[in-house]
Amino acid sequence: MAKYSKYLVVFLVVFFTASSVRAKGPFITPGARATGFGTAFVSIADDLTAIYWNPAGLAYQKNKQVMLSSYFISDSAMSNDTGGGPTKYETTAIIPFLGFSTPFNETMTIAFGIYASGGGGGKLVGLPAGVKIEGQQSFMIYNVSVAKNINDKLSVGFGFEGIEMRDKLVANLYGIDYDRSAFGFQCNLGIMYKPVKKLSTGFILRSGTRIGLPKELNASNPSFIDGYTYPMTMELGTSYKALNQLTVAVAVAYNKYSWTSANYTDTVQFRIGTEYKANDKLALHLGFFTDPNIYNKSDTYTLTNIDMYNMQYGCIGAGYDVSKNVNLDLTYTHSFTQDVVYNGVTYEYPIDMARFDINYKF
């Protein structure tokens, strides 16, 4: 049994390493165009992902439109263990975003959307025959938003969201096999102010919510035995059209985790991005954002140096207007993370992500 306990230790290391990547500050942020700006999108929010980034941006979108976006992630936590333990934890997923909006009157727009906003999962490979260890934590969002132009320079937006959390774990060697889910509800308040033609500012407050899960003593995350409190977030950003072809955007986000059920710390994220209009149809994007560690040093289940959860992401992408009605965007993101050494074993977890948008205006 001691031999197999090693598998569980490795599982915990890679599970929390991999899943935390997709359940931290930015969660799974929707939109290729938004990501191309280094996720500094709160002051731009000019497509349907505004329901996430800043619902006030919907007020400037006067067309009836539909948007489909997909997010592909490849995350394989690997180790050089030669002692018979698993050497790879595989995670790949295609995650959708679907939104629709329509003008309600001359000053108001209403939108609906469904998308994933956080979580992670996967399985260990290289285990003995008959041994199965895999798990998942995920958040699915159901959104309705409304925005209004106060005047030509100022707009406000409000969003209401139902958040479905799912948590499951199978570790047959230990008799663990559960699958549980529950709902919580949060509100989003967004403001966008454009004092001059070339400058835009944006702010969003997400209230957070308590999601009460059926109690499970064998929960994959010890902090989620009976539920999870979705963090409160506040974000402020600005964008400036420096040249006719060049727009620069920056944003700062504060994620309040200290009030949650999990033993997490509050974080501050920095985002920066640019857009260069190569011609009337083609736009190029380059961005960067941070995703700081959320774990306290007292979190023993992380098992190793918590600095490994400090991450930085580089983004590169392009958008193309196929016609007056159809726009496409594609963005690639890569994480810059440090290797982790635990008990003489080195762990690596490169993360590659791609997002693709199709936006159609009626």
The DSSP annotation for 147-212 comes to EEESSSSEEEEEEEEEEEEEEEEEEGGGTEEEEEEEEEEEEEEEEEEEEETTEEEEEEEE--EEE-
By the 8 A CB rule, do 77 and 348 touch?
yes
Lowest-confidence region among 186-190, 255-259, 289-293, 294-298: 294-298
Tokens read off for 109: 């727009």
Out of 77-81, 185-189, 241-245, pick the least confident.
77-81
- The b-or-e profile of 259-282 (16+ CB within 10 A means b, else e) is ebbbebbbbebbbbbbbebeeeee
Mean pLDDT of 4-9: 48
Cβ neighbours, 10 Å, residue 190 = 29
Nearest to 20 by CA among 263, 210, 232: 263
Lowest mean pLDDT among 120-124, 153-157, 292-296, 341-345: 120-124
Judged by average pLDDT, the poorest of 34-43, 171-180, 268-277 is 171-180
pLDDT band at 297, cuts 50/70/90? low
Mean pLDDT of the chain: 82
- The DSSP element (H or E) to which 50 belongs, if any, is helix 50-53
* pLDDT over 90 at 235, yes or no: yes
pTM for this prediction: 0.85
pLDDT category at 171 given cuts 50, 70, 90 is: confident
Taking the C-alpha atoms of residue 49 and residue 260, their distance in angstroms, rounded to an integer, is 26
Listing DSSP states for 7-28 in one string gives HHHHHHHHHHHHHHHTSSTT-S
Share of the chain above pLDDT 70, in %: 73
Mean pLDDT of 129-140: 75
What is the band of 13 on the pLDDT scale with cuts at 50, 70, 90? very low
Q: SS3 for 64?
A: coil
Write out the two tokens for 355. 């997002």
Q: What is the pLDDT of residue 79?
A: 61
CA distance 165 to 152: 39
Position with higher pLDDT, 7 vs 266: 266
pLDDT of the residue at 28? 76
Sign of CA dihedral 314, 30, 156, 242: positive
Read off the pLDDT band of 236 (50, 70, 90).
Answer: very high
Dump strand ranges (E) for 48-132: 65-79, 88-103, 108-125
pLDDT at 127 over 90: no
Average pLDDT on 228-234 reads 87
Section 181-189 average pLDDT: 94
What's the CA gap between 7 and 118, in Å, rounded? 26
CB distance 305 to 321 below 8 Å: no
Closest CA to 341 of 290, 307, 318, 301: 307
Whether residue 21 is predicted with pLDDT greater than 50 in this model: the reply is: no
Spatial distance between the Cα atoms of 32 and 329, rounded to a whole number of angstroms:
6
Among the listed residues 285, 296, 287, 277, the one whose alpha carbon sits nearest the alpha carbon of residue 318: 285
CA distances from 7 to 14, 83, 299 (A): 11, 11, 20
> According to the model, what pLDDT value does residue 292 have?
85
- Who contacts 135 (Cβ-Cβ below 8 Å, separation ≥6)? 15, 19, 121, 122, 123, 168, 169, 170, 171, 220
Average pLDDT of span 42-52: 96
Task: State yes or no: pLDDT of 130 exceeds 80.
Answer: no
Domains of the chain: 2-361 (2.40.160.60)
In terms of Cβ atoms closer than 10 Å to its own Cβ (0-12, 13-18, 19+), residue 216 is middle
Q: Which two tokens stand for residue 327?
A: 């726009």
User: What is the C-alpha R_g of the chain?
Assistant: 21
